Copies of this chain bind each other. A is one copy, B any other.
Amino acid sequence: MEPDILELESFLPYRLYRLADAVSREFSRIYRDRHGLTRPEWRTLSGLGQRGTMTATELGEQSAMHKTKVSRAVAELERRRWLTRTPDENDRRVEHLALTKAGLAAYREMVPLAIAFERELLGRLGAEERAAIVSGVTALEAKLTPEQGIGPRRASPVDQS
């Protein structure tokens, strides 16, 4: 009953990874070609654009990045003068990050491109397929506990690419 070979092409972890990698690679052109951003930098920009102000830790939680990635991405965006740090009043370890005008401009420029990308991607599918991928991903996300790398988490850092 147990097969003694594994069909890689049908193996969900592999398929999922390959799919995500292909999609992400394709999408990355939008921020890489345009501004030479890395994925962590894009996520940082996107997170701050979305929420306005966040600390590095919050950024890491929201966008599933390891703190070192956040740190480096923030440093780079600061170097570009796309964001500024404001020390917290009460806790001097914490810095509140926010986009500058230039950062916000870049963000605003990219949002429609990102949305168009997603729309185009989903547009290749039929309505049922679209529903399937979305609900399937949602279901699986829900089953992955924080310890397994997804979902909000308080203690103990997660690592993601």
Residue total for A at the interface (Cβ-Cβ under 8 A) = 66
Q: How many Å from the CB of A134 to the closest CB on chain B?
A: 7
| A24: interface (CB < 8 Å) | yes
Number of copies of this protein chain within its complex: 2
Cβ-defined contact, B125 with A19, below 8 A? no
What's the nearest-Cβ distance from chain B to residue A124, in Å?
4
Contact B111 A18 (CB under 8 A): no
**Which of B19, B133, B135, B136 touches A150 (beta carbons < 8 Å)?**
B19
Residues of A within 8 A of B (CB): 2-27, 43, 46-47, 49-50, 62-64, 108, 111-112, 114-115, 117-118, 121-122, 124-126, 129, 131-137, 139-141, 143-144, 148-150, 158-161
